Structures are given as C-alpha cells and as structure tokens.
Amino acid sequence: MRESLAVHRDFWLLWIGDAASLFVLPLLAARALDATPFQVGLVSTCLTVSFLLLGLPTGAWVDRMRRRSVLIVSDIGRALALGSLPLAGALGVLTLPQLYAVALGYGVLTVFFDVAYQSYLPYLVGRDRLVEGNAKLAATQTAAQMGGPTLGGFAVQAFTAPYAVLANAVCFAWSAAWIGLIRAREPLPERRPDRHLGREIAEGLRFVFGHRLLRAIAGCTASFNLFMMMSQPMLIVLLAEELALPSGTVGAFFTVGAAGGVVGAVFANRIASLVGGGRVIWLSVAPAGPFALLVPLAQSDWRLWLAAAGQFVVAFGTSVYNVAQVSFRQRLCPEVLLGRMNATMRFLVWGTMPLGGFLGGGLGSLIGVRPTVWVAAGGVALAFLPVFLSPLRAMRELPAHGGDVLRPVPDRP
C-alpha cells in the first residue's frame, strides 16, 4: 500500500507553498478608492483577462520550460507587484490606474503559475495519486480562501486596505521559498528543431476540442465561472456599500461560503469512489447549483447567513467537481501535452471570467447591484447542463492515458 502524499516531502512543500492566498483587491477598490460598481468589476476583469489573452501561448511556453522554475518566478513576481500597493499608499499616490496595472500583472503571472502547477503535479506524484494530490491542494487552496477574506477584511479595518495587501505579498514570497526547497527536478524539455508556437498551440486545441468529455467539462466550467464573476464583485458592493456591513463581517460571509470548498475537497475522493469517477462530475454540481439562488436574498440580518449557507453548498459541489475533472484531465493527457492541455482548458474556462466581471460591473450600473446578483445566481444554477447532457451522465469509470509519466522516486519521511 502506497504512503499518503502527506508524507511525500516534495508534494508537502508544494502543498504548503500553494496555500498562499489573502486577496483583497476588489475590497481595496471599493473601500480605499471609493470605486463605482463598474470600476470594482473592472478590477476583477483585470485580474483574469490574461487567461483570455495569454492562456493559449502560455501552455506552449510552459511545455518548453522546467515547471518548478515557472512556479518560483511567478510567485516572486506576484509578491513584488502586490508589494507596490502599500508603498504607493504610504506615499499617498495610490490610484485606480495603478490598481488596474497591478491586477493585470498579477493575472499574467497567475496564468503561468496555474498552468505550470497543474502540469507539474503528475510528474511529482504520479498519475495514480492525482485524486489524492488534487484533493489536498484544493482543500488548502479553499482553506486559504476561507481564511483570507476574514483576515483580509479585519486587516482592512485595522490597517486600511493598502497595507492589508502587504500580507498578500508576503504570502507569495512564502510560497516561492517553500517551492524552492523541492528537490525533484524535471529534465529540461528537449528543444525540437522544428518547434513552432502556432503549431504547438494548435496541438493543445485539437486535443481538447477533439474529446467530447473535455468539451462538456469546458462548457460547464466556463458557464459557472462567467456567472460567478458576474456575481462576486457585485456581491462585495452589495455587502460593503449598500448594506454598509463592516469589512470583517464581509470577510466572514465569504469565509462561511468557502468552508464548503474545504469540506468538499476532503470528501471528494470518497464521493467519487461511491458514485463513480464519471457520474461525480455532474452529480457534484447539479444539486448544488440552485443553492446560489439564496445568495441574492442577503440582508443585514439573519438572511445574510442564509445567503452564506447557499455559498457553502455551491462551494462544496464545486470543490468535488474540480477535484474530479482536473484529475481526469491530468490522467487522460500525454506528458508532452500537459501544459498545452491545461492552458487550453484555462483559456476556455477562465477566459469567461473577465467577461463576467465586465458584464457584472456593467449590469450593476445599469439595472442595480442586487438584480445583477439575481441574474448571476440563475446562471450558476444552470451551469451543470453541459456535463449532464453529455455521456458523463451514464459513465461510472473514465478513460485514462495508457502510460504513466516519468517521475522521481517517492520521498520517504
């Protein structure tokens, strides 16, 4: 029987490093710079637009590099970018254009980090332990998201928003330090004499669009992300501005919701074993999605926590879904295409996020903040349809790539 990844040294270092998260840029825009709903939505757009603009070539570039090095450089860059905000705040020169620029730079580096880490994990732990690895990573990512808004909200109250972002910069420096201790070194990918960026991008596109299960997963995830990004910035405006809740309370609201993601990640492997690796992909999101309709009911009374409970259930289902579908994608894809496959999927499923942020900000200014949250909640409730209407509905077991990846000998404690 193989040992748990919790005692796999290199995975443990990646696991600790990946937990860095305490992001408060939309709250900073709303509170410190008195941004309008449209401007708050634009900050969220800047954070994610790089997945749309750079998502495809990033996969080809990552497949040409050692992924561990990409992770370290990305974290250091994010630490420096975010560190510029408290410095500007201290000098009294912090502006919305700088916030947009930092959000754009952060987004570019996040594209590289996410594609690299999803492609590095199969090398580090092997394809047979991907569900366990992804579940642990998802649990810590969501735990960081769970604690981040609360800590960030109280930090905004205590230190003002620009200085609260300093904690975020420190988190990414922490991540770079831990990942730098990983001993496993991938061999430098062989430089093909006929390599061509456009041809390499096309290979990744063909792999994803040529597989009907991947197409269904992309459709579901892209729809969910579109409507969630319509909702989240407007939800911050609703809670912080229209309901005038303290920043700590706003953070606590998102923490309750994110707790569902932690619980979902913890039980993802057991749920998949119970219902099957194929069926879990749609069964995790179909019952959870309608609970998003509780979110627009939020008021400054008990209904705030009813809305938070709705967020909890949606996050639970989403976490189980993500562990299942990411592990399936990693098992299915040949090693040489991992970066491009992950980048193509990120392009498709995260490329809708800047559009969602932009539409959310526009609708918030046009029809109002709460009606926009209602529209987004309806979209989230129906996002499961592409996977429900696909062959995944009847599949218990999922196909996998025939060969394992080259990886180092598992570490011993």
- Only one residue has tokens 């996998």, namely 400
Tell me what pLDDT residue 26 has: 56
Which pLDDT tens digit goes with each residue over 163-193? 667 777 877 888 888 888 887 777 766 666 6
Query: What's the CATH number for 5-185+200-394?
Result: 1.20.1250.20
Q: Are 159 and 278 spatial neighbours (Cβ–Cβ below 8 Å)?
A: no
Which pLDDT tens digit goes with each residue over 195-254? 677 888 888 889 888 888 999 999 999 999 999 989 888 888 888 888 888 877 887 888
Percent of the chain surpassing pLDDT 90: 18
Tell me what pLDDT residue 6 has: 54
- C-alpha distances out from residue 230 to 72, 206, 251, Å: 31, 30, 19
Output b/e per residue, 149-184; b: 16+ Cβ within 10 A: bbbbbbbbbeeebbbbbbbbbebbbbbbebbeebeb
Domain edges within the chain: 5-185+200-394
3-state secondary structure of 107: helix
**Residue among 97, 106, 115, 253 nearest 171 (CA):** 106
